[in-house]
Amino acid sequence: MNTHVISLVSIGAHPTSGRPRRAEQDARAVELGLQLAGDNLRVLHAGDIAEPALRAYLGMGLAQLHVLEQPAGADALPALSEYLRDAGAQVVLTGTQAETGEGSGMLPFLLAESLGWPLVVGLAQVESIDGSTALVLQALPRGQRRRLKVRLPFLATVDNAAPKPRQSAFGPARRGVLQAEDVEVVDDELLAVATLQPAKPRPKRLKVIKAKNGADRMKAATAKASGGAGHVLKGVSAEEGAQAILKLLIEEGVVR
């Protein structure tokens, strides 16, 4: 498959020690890119070229890694948008959200909006690319998959449903080349005034299982969640959709 693929990577953090490392989801984006494009894969990072953790990506078998050199506190969105707009990529892969920094998960959405490309969330596999369209599998909750037909070029986020990344080898990591790219530095004004704090896991609702034997308890635990008063809105105006969302947020106690 002769496909021009670019994988975007960031600096991760070990969940226990906090030491810099390759980001888990970004490494999966590189793995998927290698399966699609092989040696033609281009890997891109916006940040400090001197960061040692970048070589962990080179250790996956990459000959080089392109770095859009930026200082800490710079906005990566303009530099990435300008680079990708002229790169001629058909598929751009990235993790769902960064392990360091803001970690809001908004970059793929803002990047797709800036480029005017479709965005696939939770990409598990690219089955085929034919002409101007691609057939992909999207990961859904409880191990389900949905087949989508998407036009090229497109941007996709990957999570733990994507192929597990290969190990990083020391030799290729040392031999790989970090290629610097000069870009215009734009300060991230929002980050400059923001206060960062560790993210807290969202609380989960507990299901009350009244089964009397092990088989019934297992069936209840693995059963697909069924909606109660939920409904699907199709063909409604933006105002009606916004009212429905606001009503749900009020009922759930998110908005008071």
**DSSP state string for 199-256:** --PPP-PPP----SSHHHHHHHHHSPP--SS-----S--HHHHHHHHHHHHHHTTS--
Question: Mapping DSSP to helix (H, G, I), strand (E, B) and coil, where does residue 63 land?
Answer: coil
Burial class (CB in 10 A: 0-12, 13-18, 19+), 48: middle
Helix then strand then coil, in percent of the chain rounded to 5, is: 30, 25, 45
Straight-line distance from the first to the last Cα atom of the chain, in angstroms, rounded to the nearest whole number: 52
Residue-number span of the structural domain to which 243 is assigned: 214-251
Same domain, 239 and 160: no
**Residues 148-182: tens digit of each pLDDT:** 999 999 999 999 999 999 999 999 999 999 999 88
Same domain, 114 and 165: yes
% of the chain surpassing 90 pLDDT = 55
Report the CATH number at residue 160: 3.40.50.620
**Residues 34-85: tens digit of each pLDDT:** 999 998 999 999 999 999 999 999 999 999 999 999 888 788 999 999 999 9
Checking if the pLDDT of 228 tops 60, the result is no
Inter-residue contact 137 to 131 (CB < 8 Å): no
**pTM value?**
0.76
In the structure encoding, which two tokens stand for residue 43, read together?
């890997």
Which residue, of 161, 193, 225, is where some domain finishes?
Answer: 193
Same domain, 33 and 155: yes
Answer yes or no: is 58 within a domain: yes
Band the pLDDT of 114: cuts 50, 70, 90.
Answer: very high
Distance CA 179, CA 65 (A): 6
Same domain, 147 and 228: no
Query: Do β-strands 42-47 and 5-8 pair in parallel, antiparallel, or remain unpaired?
Result: parallel
Structure letter (DSSP) for residue 166:
P
Band the pLDDT of 30: cuts 50, 70, 90.
Answer: very high
Answer yes or no: is 203 within a domain: no
Number of domains observed in the structure of the chain = 2
Inter-residue contact 65 to 57 (CB < 8 Å): yes
